[in-house]
Amino acid sequence: MGTRTHTEVSVARQSPQRPDADEPELDDTDTSAAADEVEVDRPAADRALWDEVRIDPVEIALPAGTGFTLRAYRPARELTPTDVDERDQDDPFLARRQVVEAEDDEEVVILDEEFAALSAEEDDEDEKSDGKRRPGKADADADGAADEARADDEDGADDEADEDDDAAGDEEVPVFLTHKGRLLLFKTPESLVTFIRSGAPNDLSQLDSWNELSERLEPADVAPLDEDTYELDLVVENLRGGHDAWDPALLIEAGEVARDLAYALRLPAVLDMLSAGSSLDDLDEALRASVNGGVGGFLGRRRLKKIGAQTASLGWRTIVGKISAVVDWRD
């Protein structure tokens, strides 16, 4: 499956209300008054500013809490990636991994052995059930070598490579409110606005619309849309509940923001775990198919039954942990 863009339509989530059985029911008058109160306290935010600056407020829930941040999409050629040198120096596991890789460039270091082992077991079971051998690394290497030989013989190979580079540079990629490889999350809209107005260094300040946002932003404007609100804190527990309890909207949206964060924060391990062909990507594909009607939805639900809940929950626990580790919480 190819890399998804932010333009994909998220599946609408159904959130049925669960009234407390012990709570007395309100009469029609009280219900109407409560509704009026909600409308007064939470007026609809004006989206004009966000549309003009092409930046969006985002709300992300993690096990440590819920915070607000900002996200934008721009062509890759216009962005300078966040600097992770300082962050990586503070990561003893990364430092150890870099030493191993320096000793042997060809050595493959498994970051999450338990998750990798479970994924391998699932692949073996799929091979047995399919009754055919899947291509292994040797097959992939042989195919890759043949492809390279054919490419070298084609005229204009260099020109095609240049065109690919141009296309990659024009592709819109995510950038968040980050600094030195860490995601800045604010517990209140007021603290987010105070930071933005302060002129403190951050990776979004490179955008041409940043100054305008700094001058005009008010706390009332920080009201993320439903599609920009993500509940990463619920993903692992939802997966542990088993196939029948899985919430497609929750999991699909979590995958979208995790990919964006992994790219913007330069977390290659997370990108690998969610890359095309991985077990978590298979889960994402099956979830997207399952919410469709007809034969496609039926086949998607059948695919979900073959995905191990333990592997999925363990993989997502690792992803949420890696993202949480690079969050800089601000009051």
Confidence at residue 109, expressed as pLDDT on a 0 to 100 scale = 42
Chain position carrying tokens 């993320």: 224
- What average pLDDT does this structure show over 236-254? 96
Confidence at residue 44, expressed as pLDDT on a 0 to 100 scale = 55
Summarised one tens digit per residue, pLDDT across range 135-147 is: 444 444 555 555 5
Bridge partners of 69, per DSSP, are: 58
Q: Give residue limits of the domains in the chain.
A: 46-138+171-330
Percent of the chain with pLDDT over 70: 63
Summarised one tens digit per residue, pLDDT across range 54-109 is: 999 999 999 999 999 999 999 999 999 999 999 988 765 554 444 444 444 444 34
- What average pLDDT does this structure show over 300-317? 93
On whether the CB atoms of residues 274 and 260 are closer than 8 A, the answer is: no
Confidence at residue 15, expressed as pLDDT on a 0 to 100 scale = 41
Rounded CA-CA distance 70/204 in Å is 8
Which of these, 142, 303, 324, lies nearest to 236 by C-alpha position? 324
On whether the CB atoms of residues 179 and 82 are closer than 8 A, the answer is: yes
Confidence at residue 35, expressed as pLDDT on a 0 to 100 scale = 43
Which of these, 53, 155, 118, lies nearest to 273 by C-alpha position? 118
Rounded CA-CA distance 231/253 in Å is 8
Rounded CA-CA distance 188/190 in Å is 5
Two tokens at 72? 């934008």
Specify the pairing of strand 172-176 against strand 65-75: antiparallel
Q: What are phi and psi of 73, to 5 degrees?
A: -125, 130
Among 24-28, 49-53, 71-75, the range scoring the smallest mean pLDDT is 24-28
Chain position carrying tokens 């039926």: 298
Summarised one tens digit per residue, pLDDT across range 221-244 is: 999 999 999 999 999 999 999 999
pTM (2 d.p.): 0.70
The secondary structure of 38-71 as a DSSP string is HHHHSPPPP-HHHHHHT-EEEEEEETTEEEEEEE
Confidence at residue 34, expressed as pLDDT on a 0 to 100 scale = 44
Residue type, 59: E
**Pick the residue with more confidence: 274 or 155?**
274
Q: Which residues, 6 or more positions from 67, have their beta carbon under 8 angstroms from its beta carbon?
A: 59, 60, 185, 186, 187, 327, 329, 330
Q: Is the pLDDT of residue 128 over 70?
A: no
Rounded CA-CA distance 52/215 in Å is 13
pLDDT band at 151 (very low <50, low <70, confident <90, very high): low
Q: Is the pLDDT of residue 214 over 80?
A: yes
Three-state secondary-structure class, residue 69: strand
Helix (H) / strand (E) containing 305? helix 294-305
Instruction: Provide the sign of the torsion angle of the four alpha carbons 42, 48, 49, 50, taken in this order.
Output: positive
Please provide the average confidence, as pLDDT, over all residues in the chain. Answer: 78
